[in-house]
Structure 1
Amino acid sequence: MGQKNKPVPVIAIFDVGKTNKKLFLFDEQYQIVFERTARFTETVDEDGDPCENLESLRLSIFDSLREVFKKEEFEVKSINFTTYGASLVYLDKDGQPLGPLYNYLKPYPEELKRQFYAKYGGEEAFSNTTASPVLGSLNSGLQLYRMKHEKPELFKQIKYALHLPQYLSYLISGALYADLTSIGCHTALWNFKTQDYHEWVKAEGILDKLAPIATSDHVMPAAFPGNNYAVGIGFHDSSAALIPYLINFQEPFILLSTGTWCISLNPFNSTPLTVEELKNDCLCYLQFEGKPVKASRVFAGYEHEQQVKRIAAHFGGDVISYRNAVFDPGIIELLRKNGKRGQEPGPKPGSETIKESLFSKRNLSDYATDIIAYHQLMQDLVDQQCQATQRVLEGTKVKRIFVDGGFSKNAIFMNLLSAAFPELEVFAASMAQATAVGAALAIHKSWNTKPLPNDIIQLKFYSAAQHHY
């Protein structure tokens, strides 16, 4: 008689992005052993603005779990959640959602915004205290303020307002908690100076509607049927992506997370934000142990996409081919000699606007080939990136920059970045699903019998002195 294999102990992680909703199962070595992706059609709120279909999301989570529990080859030990931030679910006294999950891009009424900031100390001082640039609906606390003033009847019925990761956790555990990584992501709820909720939260009667704060490694027993497993309280995705790095590296570092936005996260910088930094898109997050993380961001991935289309159209090239363009130090030398670097129109270092790169204003006829133009684009983007990264680097003992995401695979970007920071070690870091792994690592003790792994991040070193690969 063949003996039945013992089921593999796993953790289930729901990773909910704006577009893709993913479920991963990780084994004790943090390898993905099962994966499922879903996409839902957005619905609209009462004003006709697009918003997440909360009911589809809820049903999808239950369906996915039932499917996983049927798989005899796995034994689910724990479940955790990571989702995009700045989104709240309002629950009534029976724990049912009230109203839609409003989109964080929903336009915010100007008059109400003016009234709020006038009442609580003015935009500059308030933003500074809460480490939250003025972002309208992206400041999720202001969504609650709006509800109170525009829909007082509905506001009265709210028993709890939960950020999205905590709502998903509540669906499985039945327990209501708040989490610092969600509260600390530009919500305008948290006073970074007193490390507590800002006074307006109490003054407006919102504090009573917020669940108690639990620590990031807190787990609860599940209320959802299945086997005996633990449930984490969930995470804000940018903060979850930092966890693998914080666990693996003790020396101070910056994580440059690249995608549509390129975000420089410095967990070793807790100096208060200045007015100038806030104007230049710097913010603070709270990381999973509750310490502030200073961050700055540029729209570089988006800008790269737009400008590559312009280069391809001008030279008759192929947009895809530039991704694998080889770094040519000779071209960079040439561009420097010809003075095409930073001396032209566009923002000077330290100026107010770092939204667009210099490249958008350059004349493509000045370049003999598309590859030369592409090197110029990357140099301009890296110059802009350096300004942003420098803002969170200053005054700290950081020795290393880890780059993950799209640009970490771009040899020109990586070489230029290491040349721009010759005193630092610059690495391209690759790791499958850092956000989901972060949410799993946070509750490691609840499900994993093995020690914390120290080899899940692959690094490639770029030296400023190296010119050939």
Structure 2
Amino acid sequence: MSSSPPRHIAVIDIGKTNAKVVVIDRADGVQRGARTTPNIVLEDIPYPHMDVERLWAFIIEALADLGRTHGIDGISITTHGACGALVNDKGLVLPVLDYESDVPDAAREAYERVRPDFSETLSPRLPGGLNWGAQLFWQSRAFPDAFGEATAILPYPQYWAWRLTGTLASEVTSLGCHTDLWAPDRGDYSSMVDALGWRSLFPPLRPAASVIGTLLPEIAAITGLAADLPVACGIHDSNASLVPHLGRDTGPQTILSSGTWTILMTLGGKTSGLDPRRDSLANVDAHGRPVPTARFMGGREFDLLVPQIVTPTEAEIAHVIDTGIMALPSFVPGVGPFGLRTGGWTQASGSLTPGQRNAAASLYLALMAREALDLCGLGRSIVIEGPLARNRLFGQALARLAGVPVRPSGDSTGTSLGASLLFGGGLSEACEVPACEPLHSAGFDLYVENWRRQLSS
């Protein structure tokens, strides 16, 4: 294996909605190639679960194709959280449970008696399987024989690293993302892990940025990649968005990571404003430090609100603001700062043009993001990562609402750039773009006031 850091990094990036493999040039942070596929949930027995074999076939094919086309010098991995695998030397002992399934709620009352307090884990109780600990608890009781055959519990990024290298590892960003399994202030497993006798099942902790190993010979042969290709341990996707900013001494800074979830994390912020009843929590960054976080399912909600994505005209934006066309939370139950509310429109949405719907939905996401900032803390600036970086109206509205510079990331690869930086390097200046100009609308302040008034009524 070469002593110099690899340059062309293949990033396996598994989001909840889509999975992709991209090649990023570490020298300039530019994406050289990409392959994507939908992330499919299988609804058959024994419970809704991720189609890992389909993903594996996609990953292998994409690595082989991108390796031939662009060359690959290293592999990094980032995945969504609230997910993990129970394995032994034969493979999975149970399917990888879909966190959106409500099957863990069957053990909810028993789980409430064993899960740690928020003050220990900074992890709120979430619905369904959004607490990974709740998944493991339910699996251990619903399938005790299979659970007993597991020799390792792997966070999801490290599951894929294991399949590539054969090396078992745990890592703190996935252990610390609302799992109930980690105590951020202590930097150790939670009291529940020891009470349930699970500690020995978690492999040794490895830094996200460490090289976990090299490709298994059979994987190298199938993909045509070098057998000594280094594979990074891997990282939780929201935390991947933080990696480019971890070395910057700029005071508190908010990173908004977008995708299926809209997640706001304030580096250097305080955890004292977190409210477990409003889907705010502490993530754990790649250095093991708590990061106050608030979130809502912005990408999922936008898809529900907007059947057809178009760019609204200035006239359509003005019409929405001046006539008070609003979306009110929440359109995905149980999550976000207003998870107990049922979402709806202030007027019949069927009468709106596609542009008007897009405008109202973009303003809705900005208003929700501003509410989230009251929980995780407002940094001196905000950086938008992922798809929302391309939504001009969202950025303008958030800049007006927050009163601090809001800068869309120039990186089109979302979390993938951060994952590629696990091999070293920093944020490319090419990724810096000008801050959004705050939304200019005489009626916007009244629009915001009315939106908030309807939530309090």
Q: When the two structures are superposed, what TM-score results if normalisation uses the length of structure 1?
A: 0.78
Q: Structure 1 residue 267 and structure 2 residue 267: aligned?
A: yes
Tell me how far 1:129 sits from its aligned partner: 2.2
Moved more, 402-411 or 226-235: 402-411
Match of 1:393 in 2: 377
1:25-53, CA deviations, whole angstroms, 9 ceiling, x for partnerless residues? 22232222232234475434533x33222
Contact 1:327 1:412 in 2 (8 A): no
Decide whether aligned partners of structure 1 residues 247 and 35 sit closer, same or farther in structure 2, where only a CA change above 3 A counts: farther
User: Aligned equivalents of 2:183 and 2:206: distance in 1?
Assistant: 18
The match for 1:460 is 434
Is the Cα contact below 8 Å between 1:45 and 1:102 reproduced in 2? no
Once structures 1 and 2 are overlaid, which stretch shifts more, 190-199 or 15-24?
15-24
2:173 maps to: 181
* Residue 284 (structure 1) aligns with: 282
Q: How does 1:56-95 map to 2 (within 5 A)?
A: 56-68=54-66, 74=71, 76-92=72-88, 94-95=89-90
- For residues 269-308 of structure 1, the C-alpha deviation after alignment (integer angstroms, 9 at most, x for no partner) is 242464xx11111122111111111111234444444445
Give the gaps of 5 or more residues in structure 1: 1-7, 310-318, 445-450
Deviation at 1:204, TM superposition (A): 0.9
Closer/same/farther in 2, CA of residues 371 and 187 from structure 1, 3 Å limit:
closer
Q: 1:413 aligns with which of 390, 394, 417?
A: 394
Deviation (angstroms), 1:178: 0.4
RMSD across aligned C-alpha pairs, in angstroms? 3.6
CA contact (8 A) 2:79 2:237 kept: yes
Q: 1-side partners of 2:175 and 2:367: how far apart?
A: 32
- Once residues 342 and 60 of structure 2 are traced to their aligned partners in structure 1, the CA distance between those partners, rounded to angstroms, is 48
Q: CA deviation at 1:54?
A: 2.3
Aligned partner of 1:325 in structure 2 is 313
| Secondary structure of 1:171 counterpart | helix
Q: Name which of structure 1's ranges 368-377 and 378-387 shifts more when overlaid on structure 2.
A: 368-377
Q: C-alpha deviations, 1:367-406, integer Å up to 9, x for none?
A: 9999778766655553333222222126xxx211122334
2:121 corresponding residue in structure 1 = 130
Alpha-carbon distance in structure 2 between the residues aligned to 1:36 and 1:305: 22
Aligned pairs for 1:46-195 within 5 A: 46-47=45-46, 49-68=47-66, 74=71, 76-92=72-88, 94-110=89-105, 112-120=107-115, 126-135=117-126, 136-195=128-187
Q: What is aligned with 1:312?
A: none
Equivalent residues of 1:79, 1:229 under 8 A apart: yes
**CA distance 1:161–1:327, change in 2 (3 Å):** farther
Match of 2:454 in 1: none
Cross-structure match for 2:35: 36
Return the alpha-carbon distance in structure 1 between the equivalents of residues 272 and 52 of structure 2.
Answer: 36
In structure 1, what is the Cα distance between the partners aligned to 2:39 and 2:329?
41
Change over 3 Å in CA distance of 1:278–1:67 after alignment to 2: same
Residue deviations 1:334-376 (CA, integer Å, cap 9, x gap): 56xxxx599x9989xxxx96249999342359x9999778766
What is the identity, as a one-letter code, of the residue corresponding to 1:164?
Answer: Y
Structure 2 CA distance for aligned equivalents of residues 91 and 210 of structure 1: 11
| CA shift in 2, pair 1:464/1:58, >3 Å | closer
Q: In the alignment, which residue of structure 1 is the partner of 2:223? A: none
Distance change >3 Å, CA 41–CA 357, structure 1 → 2: closer
CA 1:279–1:421 in 2, change beyond 3 Å: closer, same or farther?
Answer: same
Q: CA deviation at 1:96?
A: 2.0
The verdict on how the C-alpha distance between 1:127 and 1:88 changes in structure 2, with shifts beyond 3 A counting, is same
SS of the residue 1:102 aligns to:
coil
Alignment deviations for residues 223-253 of structure 1 (CA, whole Å, 9 cap, x no partner): 4233422111111111112222335674431
Structure-2 separation of matches of 1:120 and 1:377: 36
2:220 match: none
Task: Provide the residue aligned with 2:409 in structure 1.
Answer: 429
- Percent sequence identity over matched residues? 24
CA gap of 1:139–1:369, structure 2 versus 1, over 3 A, is: closer
Match of 1:404 among 385, 398, 406: 385
Per the TM alignment, residue 112 of structure 1 is displaced from its structure 2 partner at its CA by: 2.1
1:382 correspondence with 2:340 = no
> Is the 1:327–1:411 contact (alpha carbons within 8 Å) kept by the matching residues of 2?
no
How far apart, CA to CA, are the structure 2 residues paired with 1:35 and 1:51? 25
* TM-score after normalising by structure 2: 0.80
Distance in 1, matches of 2:90 and 2:48, equals 24
CA distance in 2, matches of 1:83, 1:167: 10
Would the alpha carbon gap of residues 456 and 141 (structure 1) be closer, same or farther in structure 2, given more than 3 Å must change?
farther
Distance 1:105 1:368 in 2: 31
Shift of 1:146: 2.0
Residue identity matched to 2:293: A
1:438 aligns to 2:398 (yes or no): no
Classify 1:454/1:238 alpha carbon distance in 2 versus 1 (closer, same or farther; 3 Å): same
Shift of 1:165: 0.8
Larger Rg, first or second structure (1 or 2): 1
2:347 is matched with 363
> How many Å separate the matches in 1 of 2:402 and 2:40?
44
How far apart are residue 22 of structure 1 and its match? 1.8
CA spacing shift, 1:425–1:358, aligned 2, 3 Å:
farther
